[in-house]
Structure 1
Amino acid sequence: MQTTKTHVALLASPGMGHLIPVLELGKRFATQNDFQVTIFVVATDTSTVQSQLRNLPNPHLFNIVSLPPVDISALLDADASIVIKIIFMMRESLPALRSSISTLKPRPTALFADLFGTEAFQIADEFEMLKYVYIASNAWFLAATIYFPTIDKRLQEEHYGRKQPLMIPGCRSVRFQDTLDAFTDPKDQLFDEYLRIGLEMVTADGILVNTWEDLEPTTLASLRDGISKLLPIYPIGPMVRTMGSSHMSENSSLLEWLDMQPTESVIYVSFGSGGTLSANQMIEVAWGLELSQQRFIWVVRPPMDNDVSGSFFKVGDGSSDGTPDYLPDGFLTRNAKMGLVVPDWAPQAEILGHASVGGFLSHCGWNSTLESIVNGVPLIVWPLYAEQKMNATMLAEELGVAVRPNEMPTENLVKREEIEMMVRRILVDKEGQALRSRVKELKHSAKKASTKGGSSYNALSQVAKQCEMSLQGLMAKVMGA
C-alpha cells in the first residue's frame, strides 16, 4: 500500500504571467490530489512571489524554492527583448535547479515546466522524472507554437516574409498582424530559440494548457488528431488566482468606492503587470475615459514611448492638483466623482469580481483574459506584446465577448473619440448587453469544467494518476533492488 505522498515539482519563469498560473496549478495538486508540491521560481523580485502567496488560502500548501539570481548582463545586449532575457535567465538557472532537485526527499516523480523551462527536461531525464509542459495560455497559441517549427522553411517564409496567414491544420489561421513576435524575423535570436522550444515541447510526457474543452473544442480536437497525435494534451483551465483577504483589507477605500457604484457601471482599465503606453496614447486614453462620462478605475504607470513591456518605473511627481504629470492637467479633479486612478497596481481579481464592474479595457494577457471571463465581464481588447494579439482576435472574432479598436494599438494612435465610443459600447449600448450575455455563458462553462466531474477536473486527475503510477513504479523498483 502506498504510504508516501506523491511529490511533484513545478518550474516558473520570471514574470507574473507565468508565476500566477504555476502557483494555481500547485495549489490544485495539493488540494485536489493531496500531493506534496515544490515550486521552483526563477524570479528577479522575491516580493512578487510573497505578494502572490498572500492570495493563497494556506501559504503552507507547498514549498517555494527561489533559485539564486543569475547575471546575464555579459551574455546579452542591454536592449535585448524581455523574452530573450527570460530564456537566458532560465538557462543559467539550470545548475541551481539540478542541485536543488537532488536534495529533495522524497525525489519528485514529475517536473512541470512552463513555456520557457523546456531545457530543464534534461534534468528531469537525469532523475528519471516524468516531464510535462504547462502552457499558461490557450490551445490556439499552443497549436501555433508546436506547428511552426515543423513546417517547410518555404511556408515559414510565406508567413514572416510575405506576411501570409500561418495556416494551422484544423485550426484558425494566424494572420500576420496577429502573429507572435518570435515568428517575424528569422535573423533574430528569438526566432531560433522559439523554434527550439516548440521542438522540445513535443518530447514531453504530456502538455497541460490553461483552457477548457468547451472554450476551444475545434483547436483541441485538431491538436489531438493532427500535429500532436502521440502527445497527450490536457486542458485543465481556467487556472486563475482567487481573491485574497489581505488585498481586500489593504484596498478597502477602493472597494468601498466600488460598493457605492451601480451594478455593471464601471470600466476597469489595466494593461497588466508589464504593459506600458506612449505618452501621447496615455493622454488619449485619459480624454477618452473622461468624454465617455462613465465610471472608471484606471491602473496607471508612467509612459514609455519605445517599450510596450517596460513597467519597472515608479509613478512620477504629480502636478499641483495631484494629477501625475503624464495625464492631462486637472484630470483627477474633473473626474473625482466618476473615476479612480490607481498607481502601479490594483487588486484585479477583487475588482473584476465586484458587481459594479461592467467592462475591462485589457492588454489581453491570458491571466487577465481568464479572470475577466470567470467573472462574466466583457472586454475592450488592447493587445501590446507576446501572444496578446492572438488573444484579442479570439475574444473579439471567435468568442464574441469583446470589442476592439479599428487600429492596432502598437501600430497607430487610438484616438480619444474611439476610446469614448468603445467604453460606451460596453457599458451603455445594446451591444454591450449581448457581449455580457455571451461572456456569462462562458463563465458558467468555466465553472462546470473546473468542478468535480468536469472536463478540466478530470484532465488534471488523469495527470495526477500518471504521477501516482510513476511513484508506485519507483517504489517497486527500490523494493526489488
Structure 2
Amino acid sequence: MAHALLVASPGLGHLIPILELGNRLSSVLNIRVTVLAVTTGSSSLTETEAIRAVAARGTCEVTELPPVDTDHSVEPNATVFTKIVEKMRAAKPVVQDAIKSMTQKPTVMIVDFLGTGMMSIADDAGMAKYVYVASNSWFLALMMYLPVLDKVVEGEYIDIKEPMKIPGCRSIGPDDLIETMLDRSNRHYRECVRCGEEIPMSDGILVNTWEELEGKTLPALREDGELSRVMKVPVYAIGPIVRSNELTKRPNSIFEWLDKQQERSVLYVCLGSGGTLSLKQTTELACGLELSGQSFLWVLRRPTSYLGESSTDDDLVSAGLPEGFLDRTRGMGLVVTEWAPQVEILSHGSIGGFLSHCGWSSVLESLTKGVPIVAWPLYAEQWMNATLLTEEIGVAVRTSELPSKGVIGREEVASLVRKIMAGEGEEGRKIRAKAEEVRVSSERVWTQGGSSYYSLLEWAKQCRLLS
C-alpha cells in the first residue's frame, strides 16, 4: 500500500486542516497516511483533543511529536507567524528521527506553507514533496508573487494608495493586505517572503478551493504567463476539505434551543477562537443584534478591554454586554460562553446566516452548508477572504470599514444582519441564492468525475501513490 506523510504545523488553525487532508487522502485514495504533528507545547490540550478525534476514525496514523524549545531563537514579542515558522525549523531533527523509525517509508511528504523549511527532509529521504495551502487560490497567488513585490515595491505596502497588481488575478488593495505585509521591518515579513520563495521548490501545490469557486484565479496560476512562471509547479484544487460532523457529545442547551427555532431563522455569530472585540465594539454588536430583530446564537469571547484575569466564567464574559441585554433578548437570542461545535451548528436547519471573522476554514464550513456570511475580518488573511466573498463569489456582505480600524455601529450591524437573514433588497436575495448555488457546487466537485475528485486522482498519479 502506498504511504503518504503529512507534517502539521503548530496551532489548531494549521493542525486541523492537515488532519482533515489526511482523512480525505486515506478515504478517497485508500492509501496509508501518517500525520506527524508539531505542537505548541504550551497549550497543547486542544491540539491533543483534535489529534485524538481524528485518530479515533482509524483513517490516519497520528503521532504528536514532542515540543521543541525555540525560546533562544525567537524574541518573546515575536508574532505567532514567526513563532510557528521557527518551531517548524527547529523540529526538523525530530521529524527526521520519526521517519527513520517507520517500517514502511513514505513515498510523498506534504507540509503546509509554514513548513516549507521541512522539504529538505523529503529530498534527503528520496520522497516527493508537496505544499498544502489550506486557504484560497487568491491567497496562494499573493504568497507566490510576494517575492517579486518585495523587489519592486519601495516603502511600506500599507502606504500605497493604488491596488497592487498580481498578474491574471484580482489586485490587492490596501484593505486586503495580509497581516504579515503591514510592517516590512518585522521578522515575520521576511519569513513570509521566504515561504513564497520556497513553495516553488516543491513538486506541486494542493490548495483548499475548487475550480467552480475560483474560476478566475486558478487559471492564472497555471496558464503560461508571468504568475505561472513564478509558480513553476502544478497546482491542484482539491477543496473543499472541511471538518465532518462526528461529535459524540453535543452541548444539549445549544441544540435544544436551535431545535425550537424556525428554519433558516437564526444568525450564528462566532469570530473564531482568537476573535475577541473591544468592550465598545462588543456593546455595539450586541445592540445591533437586538436592533435587527433577528434570532441569533452568539459564541461570545471576553472583551479585550474587560478588566480582570482571562476566564471562561459566564458572568465574567457576559459582563461586557449592555445592561439588560440578556433579559431583553431572552427567547430571541442565545449567548454561549463555552466551546461550541461550529460544524454541527452550521449544519442545523435553523441557521440562516453566519457573522464570521472569515478564517478560511470557517468560510468553507459555512459555504458547504449554503449559509451566507456577514464578513467581519479581524487579522491574518481574513481581509482578503472578506473581499473575495463579497466582490467575487457574492455570498457575503461586509462592514463599511475594517473592524480592526474602527468601531462598527449598531445601525450598520442591524442593516447587515437583516440583509442576510431577511433577504432585504435585491442584493440580499442574490446573496442567499448564490450561497445555495455554492453549496450544490461544493458537493458536486467530490462526486466521481467532479473537478476536485479528478484533481486529487491526478495528483496521486503524479506522485505515484496510484498506479
Q: TM-score, normalised by structure 2?
A: 0.93
Tell me which residue corresponds to 1:153: 151
Checking the alignment, whether the CA contact within 8 Å between 1:302 and 1:316 is kept in structure 2 is no
Aligned amino acid, residue 396 of structure 1 = T
Match of 2:332 in 1: 338
Report the equivalent of 2:250.
Answer: 250
Aligned to 2:189: 191
| 1:72/1:329 CA distance change after superposition, 3 Å | farther
Name the SS of the counterpart of 2:59 in structure 1: coil
Conserved 8 A contact 1:301-1:313: no
Which residue does the alignment assign to 1:13?
9
The CA deviation string for residues 195-218 of structure 1, in whole angstroms up to 9 with x for no partner, is 110010001000000000011112
The verdict on how the C-alpha distance between 1:202 and 1:263 changes in structure 2, with shifts beyond 3 A counting, is same
Which whole-Å CA distance do the structure 2 matches of 1:166 and 1:195 have between them? 16
> Hey, what does 2:260 align to over in structure 1?
260
Give distance in 2, aligned partners of 1:77 and 1:300. 31
Q: Which residue of structure 1 lines up, in the alignment, with residue 239 of structure 2? A: 237
CA deviations 1:362-421 (Å, max 9, x no partner) are 000000001111000000000011110000001111111111111210000011111111
Does residue 1:329 correspond to 2:329, yes or no? no
In the alignment, is the contact (CA less than 8 A) between 2:250 and 2:341 conserved in 1? no
Which one of 39, 42, 51 corresponds to residue 43 of structure 1? Answer: 39
- Is 1:217 equivalent to 2:219 in the alignment? no
User: Alignment partner of 1:105: what SS?
Assistant: coil
Corresponding residue for 2:366? Answer: 372
Q: Give the deviation of 1:433 after TM superposition.
A: 2.8
The 5 Å alignment of 1:386-397 reads 386-397=380-391
CA spacing shift, 1:222–1:156, aligned 2, 3 Å: farther
Equivalent residue, structure 1, for 2:64: 66
Kindly state the Cα deviation for residue 16 of structure 1 after the two structures are TM-superposed.
2.2
Name 1:270's counterpart in structure 2. Answer: 270
Unaligned runs of 5+ in 1: 307-311, 473-481
Partner Cα distance (1:157, 1:414) in 2: 30
Correspondence for 1:351 = 345
SS of 2:109's equivalent in the other structure is strand
Residue 412 (str. 1) matches residue 406 (str. 2): yes
Range 124-133 or range 328-337, more displaced: 328-337
- Which one-letter code corresponds to 1:262 in the other structure? Q
Choose the corresponding residue for 1:455, options 447, 451, 454.
451
Where 2:67 maps in the other structure, the secondary structure is: coil
Query: Quick one: distance in 2 between partners of 1:72 and 1:376?
Result: 42
The answer for unaligned runs of 5 or more in structure 2 is none
Q: 1:435 aligns with which of 426, 431, 435?
A: 431
Cα offset, 1:424, TM superposition: 1.1
Moved over 4 A (4+): 53-58
Offset at residue 330 of structure 1 (A): 2.7
Provide the residue aligned with 1:89 in structure 2.
87
Deviations 1:38-90 (A, max 9, x none): 11112234432343356559522111111111233333332221111211221
User: Alpha carbons of 1:69 and 1:162: their partners in 2 closer, same or farther (altered >3 Å)?
Assistant: same
**Aligned counterparts of 1:77 and 1:442: Cα–Cα separation in 2:** 43
Distance 2:187 2:218 in 1: 30
SS at match of 2:73: coil
- Per the alignment, residue 309 of structure 1 pairs with none
Cα RMSD (Å) of the superposition? 2.1
Amino acid at match of 1:78: P
1:130-178 CA-to-partner distances (Å, cap 9, x unmatched) read 1000000000000000011024623354734434322000100010221
State which drifts further: 459-468 or 193-202: 459-468
Cα distance in 2 between the residues matched to 1:156 and 1:94 = 35
TM-score by length of 1: 0.90
Cα distance in 2 for partners of 1:305, 1:93 equals: 36
What amino acid sits opposite 2:244 in the alignment?
Answer: T
Amino acid of the structure 1 residue aligned with 2:128: L
CA gap 1:294/1:273 in 2 versus in 1, 3 angstroms: same
1:20 is displaced (CA, Å) by 1.9
Residue of structure 2 equivalent to 1:475: none
Check whether the contact 2:160–2:174 (CA below 8 A) recurs between aligned residues: no
Matched residue count: 457
3-state SS of the aligned residue for 2:445? helix
User: d(CA) in 2 for partners of 1:73 and 1:314?
Assistant: 26
Q: In 2, Cα distance between the equivalents of 1:54 and 1:65? A: 10
Stretch of structure 1 that moved more, 48-57 or 257-266: 48-57
Q: Which shows bigger deviation, 362-371 or 457-466?
A: 457-466
Q: 1:421 to 1:161 in 2, by over 3 A?
A: closer
Superposed, which structure 2 residues align to 1:86-235 within 5 Å?
86-151=84-149, 153-155=151-153, 157=155, 159-225=157-223, 226=225, 227-229=227-229, 230-235=232-237
Q: In the aligned structure 1, how far is the partner of 2:154 from the partner of 2:146?
A: 7
For 1:293, the equivalent position in structure 2 comes to 293
Q: Report how far residue 450 of structure 1 moved.
A: 1.5
Q: CA deviation at 1:355?
A: 1.1
1:331 deviation in Å?
Answer: 2.2
AA aligned to 1:16 is L
Provide, for residues 106-152 of structure 1, a one-character-per-residue CA deviation record: whole Å limited to 9, x for no partner: 11111100010000001111111110000000000000000110246
Verify the 8 A CA contact 1:56 1:244 in the aligned structure 2: no
Change (3 A) 1:177 1:113: same
1:195-250 deviations in whole A, cap 9, x for unaligned?
1100100010000000000111121100002323531000000001111231xx33
CA drift of 1:468 comes to 2.9
Alpha carbons of structure 1 residues 336 and 168: separation in structure 2 relative to 1, 3 Å: same
* Gap change, CA 1:59 and 1:53, over 3 Å in 2: farther
Q: Distance in 2 between matches of 1:57 and 1:10?
A: 14
